[in-house]
Amino acid sequence: MASTAAASQTPSVEGITLRGRDFFWGKQTYLMGVLNITPDSFSDGGRFNTLDAALQQARHMANSGADILDIGGQSTRPQAEDVPLEEELRRVVPIIDALRRNGDTTPISVDTTKAEVARAAVAAGADLVNDISGATFDPAMLPTVAELGVPIVLMHLRGTPKTMQQLTDYQNLIADIAEFLTDRAAAAIAAGIAPKHVILDPGIGFAKTFAQNLEILRHLPQLHHLGWPLLVGPSRKSFIGHILNQPDPQQRVWGTAATCCAAIQGGADILRVHDVAEMRDVCKVADAIWR
């Protein structure tokens, strides 16, 4: 089985180093702060799509305790349209370049499914790639990341953001996610990416129903046992709004906190969040209990 092949190549090291910062998996939970340079993201679209606003938010998240800044120029909300390459480059590269020119040393992740955006972002100062497609949308992504020598987050997704919520029929949700992720990890290694540079994400909210998102959180230890570091991104998502009867994503902070606690208990290594200061407190207490 593919999962057996991938499991035999899981990293023997305990972490990675990004821009002089050590990330030791299993020792603490790390926070990835979300910075959407988009007009249409589900939670904060249009708030940070100017250079000054994006720089201010990046500094705020770094000062609030973000271990990584995740900068993206393509909305991945349900029904989102694909952004042309040139537009995504125009949105993403200047903010990364400006942060580095201003002396910011916080590790930066570029949230993209396009190899050329990944290449340009790393050239501007990004340190890792976060690909919601598991590097399936662009066949050049894995060899490009291997050439660049940076880590990559491979997320589980069916279809595209425009079609994904029509593709939620699974034979066995957790087993299907595990098979996809282990196959993508094996593909990354076959492309020349170092095993220690592979991070997996079960894709909460992507081609998942309300009930399936909860099932992932309940069974996260099964995915953690695959042997790879895990990123989990529940922040402000619609399943939390469903539980709370809260249509405003920005009012889902404490619901997000509950999901972050569950993710930490389940073995998540990185949490991708919007509300960094609040989730930093959550991580400190949850880490003290479980780690």
Q: Is the pLDDT reported for residue 43 higher than 60? A: no
Q: Looking at 158, 237, 252, 291, which residue is catalytic?
A: 237
Q: What is the per-residue burial (b if ≥16 Cβ within 10 Å, else e) of 111-127?
A: bbbbbbbbbbbbebbbb
Cα 265 vs. chain centroid, distance in angstroms? 18
The answer, yes or no, to whether residue 79 has pLDDT greater than 70, is no
Mean pLDDT of 6-10: 45
C-alpha to C-alpha distance for 139 and 156, rounded to whole angstroms? 16
pLDDT given at position 80: 66
Domain ranges of the chain: 2-7+28-290
User: From the centroid of its chain, how far is CA 225?
Assistant: 19
Distance CA 203, CA 150 (A): 21
DSSP-derived secondary structure for 185-207:
HHHHHHTT--GGGEEEE--TTSS
Long-range contacts of 83-88 (CB under 8 A, 24+ apart): 83/38, 85/114, 85/116, 85/117, 88/112, 88/114, 88/117
DSSP state, 236?
Answer: T
Q: Candidates 3.20.20.20, 3.40.190.10, 3.30.70.20, 3.40.228.10; correct CATH number of 2-7+28-290? A: 3.20.20.20
Annotated catalytic, 196?
no
Least confident of 37-46, 101-110, 132-141, 273-282: 37-46
pLDDT confidence tier of residue 188, bands split at 50, 70 and 90? very high
Q: Which of 272, 280, 284, 291 is an active site residue?
A: 272
Least confident of 5-9, 130-134, 140-144, 167-171: 5-9
**Catalytic residue flag (residue 208):** no
